[in-house]
């Protein structure tokens, strides 16, 4: 067996291990990162595509473990934080972009990804800005790197501050970029944090559509924005579990399967953090992304804790 064949076999074995209930979210992420940086991901394109599909199906599956009324209540209660957070993040991102002299399009993409929904928001906004491929790649690499850090850092900070699961779920949903990282960090913290964090994050992700449409109108762009289908699926799943409570055991099994699929997704996401991705992140975009992220995370947590 040659080196490439051994690497593929090890990758499949690691993936299979992450599919078992004995491996948690944080372990899967670290294993994926270690595999990519140590041995190299044998299927970088395929695993990136698979992680996106599995993540979306998993988010839909998580809806079966929730009641629709609970989802709507969480969305309503976090609306003000979400609106203020998005507006504040975009404004801070603009100022920091000027301060660090980051390329205008790259700065806007990093700010938009931080404000709303990471890679999904960046992908939706890039055509409106007519961003170059390398500008989009740098923004995605910056946000992706910080997402990987958030998965490990947020639960550690929360345990240090002894945050309850509800507060952590809201904080993660508002302050972490991508949906995958929110559900990953929240799943480490607890089931209640996972339910709240996922709902808050998906509520926030819905803002992709109006913001992109607004910017498209301002720039007279023909780019269209749509509501992500997996969010619709999540709401439908929560609705089904609410309408047919007699199947609670089945809904619970689907939700449990979805949580384990998230662990597999985190391994694939970690395996995407390659040396090439790290090289794409220039010092100015990285400084802007880190500074913006720290400010947003800190101010959001202070607001949730009622600090002066």
Structure tokens at 17: 């291990």
pLDDT, one tens digit per residue, over 161-193 is 999 998 999 999 888 887 778 888 888 888 888
Give the model's pLDDT for residue 32: 83
CB atoms within 10 A of CB 212: 22
Give the model's pLDDT for residue 163: 92
Give the model's pLDDT for residue 194: 86
Give the model's pLDDT for residue 257: 84
Give the model's pLDDT for residue 306: 77
Give the model's pLDDT for residue 63: 77
Give the model's pLDDT for residue 228: 62
Give the model's pLDDT for residue 209: 65
CA-CA distance, 237 to 222, in Å (whole number)?
Answer: 33
pLDDT, one tens digit per residue, over 197-253 is 888 887 777 777 677 667 767 666 555 555 567 767 877 888 888 888 888 888 888
Structure tokens at 48: 């990136």
Asked if residues 208 and 117 have their Cβ atoms less than 8 Å apart, the reply is yes
H helices present in the chain, as ranges: 3-18, 25-38, 44-62, 68-77, 79-100, 104-112, 118-129, 133-161, 165-175, 179-189, 191-205, 208-218, 229-243, 248-271, 275-280, 283-305
Domain boundaries, the chain: 3-305
Give the model's pLDDT for residue 184: 80
Give the model's pLDDT for residue 222: 57
Give pLDDT < 50 ranges for the chain.
Answer: none
């Amino acid at each position: 067996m040659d080196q490439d064949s051994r690497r593929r076999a090890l990758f499949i074995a690691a993936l299979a291990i992450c599919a078992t209930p004995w491996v948690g979210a944080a372990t899967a992420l670290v294993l994926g990162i270690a595999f990519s940086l140590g041995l190299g991901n044998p299927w970088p394109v395929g695993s990136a595509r698979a992680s996106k599909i599995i993540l979306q199906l998993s988010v839909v599956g998580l809806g079966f473990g929730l009641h629709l009324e609970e989802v709507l209540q969480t969305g309503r209660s976090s609306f003000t934080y979400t609106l203020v957070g998005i507006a504040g993040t975009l404004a801070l991102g603009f100022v920091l972009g000027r301060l660090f002299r980051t390329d205008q399009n790259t700065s806007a993409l990093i700010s938009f990804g931080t404000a709303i929904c990471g890679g999904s928001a960046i992908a939706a906004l890039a055509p409106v800005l007519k961003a170059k491929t390398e500008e989009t790649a740098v923004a995605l690499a910056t946000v992706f790197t910080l997402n990987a850090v958030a998965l490990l850092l947020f639960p550690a900070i929360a345990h240090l501050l002894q945050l309850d699961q509800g507060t952590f779920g809201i904080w993660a949903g508002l302050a972490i970029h991508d949906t995958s990282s929110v559900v990953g960090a929240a799943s480490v913290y607890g089931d209640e944090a996972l339910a709240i964090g996922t709902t808050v994050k998906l509520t926030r992700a819905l803002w992709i559509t109006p913001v992109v449409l607004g910017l498209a109108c301002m720039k007279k762009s023909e780019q269209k924005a749509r509501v992500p289908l997996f969010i619709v699926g999540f709401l439908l799943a929560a609705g089904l579990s609410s309408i047919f409570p007699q199947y609670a055991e089945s809904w619970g099994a689907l939700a449990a399967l979805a949580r384990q699929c998230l662990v597999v997704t985190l391994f694939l996401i970690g395996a995407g953090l390659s040396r090439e991705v790290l090289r794409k992140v220039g010092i100015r975009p990285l400084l802007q992304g880190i500074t913006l992220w720290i400010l947003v995370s800190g101010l959001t947590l202070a607001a949730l804790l009622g600090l002066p």
